Amino acid sequence: MHKISLVLATNNPYKVLEIRKILPKSFDLKSLKDAGVTAELPETKGTIKGNAVQKAMFVWESTGIECLADDSGLEIENLNGRPGVDSAFYSGFPISAERNMDLVLSELKETENRRASFVTILALIYQGECYQFEGRIFGVISEEKRGNNGFGYDPIFIPDGQLLTFAEMDENAKNTMSHRAKALQKLKGFFESNRLS
C-alpha cells in the first residue's frame, strides 16, 4: 500500500491531532505550515458543507497539493440547529471556547430538551475531484462543563449511551465514536474500495 499524501486544510491544531490519530500510517498528513500556507482559510459560504469545500479548494488552488478540509459544528435541537456553522465564534470575537459554552448553557437553562449532535463534513481534493464525507454523533448537552480533554464544546457534550462528556473521556474513546472519526472511517473506506491506497 503506497502512502497517500494530503495536506490538512485546517488551522485548528486539535483537529490535526485527532485526524492523525484516527487515520492509519498509510496516510502522510501534512499541516498547513508544512505546506507553507500562512494565509487565513476562507469560510464564507454559510454552511458547513460549503465551508469544507471552500477551505479545501483554497488550499488546492494555492499549493497544487491534494488536501483534506474539515468543517464541523454543534447543532442543538432546541436552538434550531445553532450554533451550527457559527460554532467557532458563537459568542463573538476574539474566539473563546469557554464563552461559547457559557452562552450555550445559559440559552439552555431550565430547558428539558437538551438533544444535540456534532457534525463533521470532510472535503477531499484527490486526483482532480472533490469528494465529501459526513460523520455525525448524537447526544445531549450537560448541565455544566466537565473535563479537560479535547477542545471546543467537548466539556458540555455527552454522547448517547455514555455517562462522560467528550472532555472527560480519554482521547482514544472520543476518537472511536466521534463525528470526525465516523467521517474519517468513510474516507478510509473510499480509498480502500477504490483501491487508491
Residues carrying an active site annotation: 71
**Which CB atom, from 63 or from 197, has the smaller least distance to ligand ITT?**
63
* Residue linked to cell 430547558: 111
Does residue 182 belong to the site contacting ligand ITT (CB under 6 A)?
no
Residue 80 identity: N
**Measuring CA to CA, which residue among 137, 167, 165 is closest to residue 73?**
137
Least gap, CB of 2 to ligand ITT (angstroms): 27
**Measuring CA to CA, which residue among 49, 70, 76, 48 is closest to residue 158?**
76
- Judged by CB under 6 A, the residue of 17, 29, 57, 88 near ligand ITT is 88
- The answer to whether 145 and 101 are in contact (CB under 8 A) is yes
Q: Rounded distance, CA 21 to CA 108, Å?
A: 33
Q: Rounded distance, CA 127 to CA 43, Å?
A: 23
Does residue 11 belong to the site contacting ligand ITT (CB under 6 A)?
yes
Neighbours of 142 (CB within 10 A): 20
Record the cell numbers describing residue 127, joined without a space: 486526483
Here the contacts of 83-91 (C-beta below 8 Å, separation 24 or greater) are 84/48, 85/46, 85/47, 85/48, 85/51, 87/152, 87/153, 88/152
**Which CB atom, from 50 or from 190, has the smaller least distance to ligand ITT?**
50
Helix or strand (DSSP H, E) at 108: none
- Judged by CB under 6 A, the residue of 27, 73, 126, 140 near ligand ITT is 73
Stretch of 9-17, 23-31, 141-149, 187-195 lying at the interface with ligand ITT (CB under 6 A): 9-17
**Which CB atom, from 70 or from 168, has the smaller least distance to ligand ITT?**
70
Least gap, CB of 154 to ligand ITT (angstroms): 4
Does residue 191 belong to the site contacting ligand ITT (CB under 6 A)?
no
**Which CB atom, from 146 or from 197, has the smaller least distance to ligand ITT?**
146
Footprint of ligand ITT on residues 13-52 (CB under 6 A)? 15, 41, 43
Residue ranges in contact with ligand ITT by CB under 6 A: 10-12, 15, 41, 43, 70-74, 87-88, 97, 118, 150-154, 166, 178, 180
